Amino acid sequence: MRNQRVPTSFTLQTVPEKFYHLQGAQTVWASPKIAISSRFRTSGRGNRMREIARYLAVLSKPYLRDTEVCKAAPTSGTTASGSRPQYYKRAALIEHNDTIFEVKGCGVPANIKPRDTPYGIGLYHIHNAV
């Protein structure tokens, strides 16, 4: 097997998108590295998890109104700036405190209609997370 050269830098083509913060999000999974990250300014793991939910529990535009596969999600009225690499279907890159977080299961892009399939709906169901 030959050694392959790994590029030292690359440009990620992304599409900007507006995301909507969920109102009252209480269940969030975050990797342990993120849960103890200094990017979240509150002290204590429980407080950090609430802050993670407040800033990173987001949905894309198709979930703001009822569709045949899901009811409209309650939002807080605030938005988050983010982007999606072109090949992402249900994840996005969201910026918070000068750090970019990859958020999974935040819905399909605005130009795709949610479908009633495990991945087509675009959301990350709790039974998949545990």
Residue-wise pLDDT tens digits, 58-83: 999 998 889 888 888 899 999 999 99
Residue-wise pLDDT tens digits, 46-61: 677 788 888 889 999 9
* pTM, full prediction: 0.77
Q: How far apart are CA 34 and CA 48, in angstroms?
A: 9
Distances (CA, A) of 69 to 17, 28, 114, 116: 22, 22, 7, 6
Residue-wise pLDDT tens digits, 75-123: 999 999 999 988 888 899 998 888 888 888 888 988 888 888 877 778 7
- With vertex at residue 87, the alpha carbon angle to CA 84 and CA 93, rounded to the nearest 5 degrees, is 25
Q: pLDDT confidence of 8, banded at 50, 70, 90?
A: low
**What is the three-class DSSP state of 48?**
helix
| Burial per residue of 116-129, b for 16 or more beta-carbon CB atoms within 10 angstroms, e otherwise | eeeeebbbbeeeee
Q: pLDDT confidence of 21, banded at 50, 70, 90?
A: very high
**Looking at per-residue confidence, does 34 or 3 come out higher?**
34
